[in-house]
Every structure is written in C-alpha cells, then in structure tokens.
Amino acid sequence: MCCQTHFTFYVKDGDLARWRKEGRTDILERLERDEAVWAGDRFVHRRNGHLVRSCPFLVREGGRFACAIYDTRPRTCRDYRPGSNELCPLHRPARG
C-alpha cells in the first residue's frame, strides 16, 4: 500500500459504513467520481482514462506531504507500517 497509488483500492466495507455514519459525502463522492481501474499495465481513472498518479487525499503542506482525511483514513492506511512495502520510497531492504 502506498499513498502514491489510489485509495480506491484500500477502501473496505467498514470504511464506507464509517464515512456514511460520519456524513463524509466529500469522501464518498470523490470515491465515486475518481474510481480507478486496472488497464493491464497501469491504473487509470474509469471516467476519463487518465493515469492515476496518487491518492486524491495526499496533499502538500509546506515542504511535506500529508493525508487530508487522516482522522478517518481507510483501515488499510491505518494499519500500514511506513516502509514495509518495496514500492514505498521509505522502504529500506533488511540487512542480512
């Protein structure tokens, strides 16, 4: 998992239920509008075919990146340990 892909792929039923309960129509509408699909070699937006570059909630604050929905981010994002995936820029290979 990585913020450089699209959060569509991380959303679970529990996240959807929580956002409905919290009245987070902004997230639900964004999810529907920006739905992404696998095009064989890359992810693209279903609506316009544009390449998916990163999560729409990944924002730049000062010189750093941050999650704009941090308090209610998807469960997968909460459970992710930064650097634990090879695709993550923070990943450091284990020394043997």
Site for ligand SF4, rule CB under 6 A: 3, 7, 55, 57-58, 67, 69, 73-74, 77
> For residues 4 and 96, which CB has a smaller minimum distance to ligand SF4 in the complex?
4
**Residue 40 Cβ, how far from ligand SF4 at the closest point, in Å?**
23
> For residues 19 and 57, which CB has a smaller minimum distance to ligand SF4 in the complex?
57
Q: 10-46: buried (b, 16+ CB within 10 Å) or exposed (e) per residue? A: bbeeebeeebeeeebeebbebbeebebeeeeeebbbe
**Residue 6 Cβ, how far from ligand SF4 at the closest point, in Å?**
8
Instruction: State how far the Cα of 7 lies from the Cα of 86, in Å rounded to an integer.
Output: 18
